[in-house]
Amino acid sequence: MAEVPEVEIIVRDLRQAVVGRHFTEAEVLSPAVVRFPSPPDFIEALRGRTVTGAHRRAKFILLPLDDGRTLAIHFMLWGDLKLLPQGSERAPSTLVVFSLEGGEELHLTDTLGYARVAVGPASEVALRLKLEELGPEALDDTFTPEVLARQLRRRRSPLKTVLLNQRVLAGLGNRDADESLWQAGLDPRRLASSLTREEGVRLHRAIRAVLEEGLRLRGTQKDLFGVQGQAKHRRNVFGRTGAPCPRCTTPVSHLRIGGRNTHWCATCQPESGAPSEPAQASLL
């Protein structure tokens, strides 16, 4: 599943392998994939344009072009991008093929078909994709415990729901939110506004650790060049309902919170908020 570490890895690969090159052609195999403009206009907008940069905002891949427009790509849940030699076999899940100068192609694939692309002036892309409304980036240097505390302070919703709200914080998907809360020892059902300063510091540290570990292990998917990342889809609690918590062996709990599958350890992440270091206590 493509969460922020997986998208960030693809963006870094694009910076290395695609920035500075131009598109010779684009082929849209599934018209529904193009959010705007129309598929023919999308193809026309890309033809001959050079990619001048590669950035990420939340899970959006943003590729500025040399005419001031920006190509935006969103993987949704299972989208993927591969750099392949020209004329490579197209998987049945291929949605768009971008041909690049130098005899290579980018294949956008998605087995569910939910991935989306768009191109337009940078300001229009920002407006229509609501990029300005996104919260601070969890991987940015400017994301500090103070910034997190400010974002959570007035949110009277469960922590899990608030952490997935990209307007509050851009960067956590379902898996990384569950893992961050487990590392921080915080019950996902607690109200975001109820965190103490110390708990907020712990949560900040856990979020950074989870995202940076995902990056270090090169994610759970294959990168732009087809090399498999070493991070695991199922980690300490995510997707491990009923399995023993790796810290204390309590069976992992599961509940849908805000419509999203949520996994946590009732011992390490106590409902009351105390104690602050349950894992160590249970191991003694």
Binding stretches for Zn ion (CB under 5 A) = 245, 247-248, 250, 265, 267-268
Give least dist CB 247 to Zn ion, A.
Answer: 4
Residue with smaller CB distance to Zn ion, 1 or 209: 209
Give least dist CB 268 to Zn ion, A.
Answer: 3
Residue with smaller CB distance to Zn ion, 173 or 278: 278
Report the Cα 106 to chain-centroid distance in Å: 20
CA distances from 17 to 9, 155, 274 (A): 12, 41, 48
Residue with smaller CB distance to Zn ion, 49 or 247: 247
Give least dist CB 278 to Zn ion, A.
Answer: 7
Give least dist CB 30 to Zn ion, A.
Answer: 43
Give least dist CB 279 to Zn ion, A.
Answer: 6
Residue, CB closest to Zn ion: 245
Token pair recorded at residue 283:
């191991």
Give least dist CB 235 to Zn ion, A.
Answer: 13
Give least dist CB 145 to Zn ion, A.
Answer: 24
∠ CA(2), CA(118), CA(51), 5° rounding?
85
Whether 225 and 14 have beta carbons less than 8 Å apart is answered as no
CA distance 240 to 145: 29
Residue with smaller CB distance to Zn ion, 244 or 258: 244
Amino acid at 29: L
Token pair recorded at residue 79:
């989208």
Helices 174-184 and 197-216 cross at an angle (nearest 10°) of 130
Residue with smaller CB distance to Zn ion, 221 or 267: 267
Residues 6+ apart with CB under 8 A from 235: 175, 179
DSSP string, 46-59: HTTPBB---EEETT
Residue with smaller CB distance to Zn ion, 112 or 274: 274
Sign (positive or negative) of CA dihedral 141, 142, 143, 145: positive
Residue with smaller CB distance to Zn ion, 24 or 282: 282
Whether 218 and 231 have beta carbons less than 8 Å apart is answered as yes
Measured in residues, the chain has a length of 284
Whether 228 and 6 have beta carbons less than 8 Å apart is answered as no
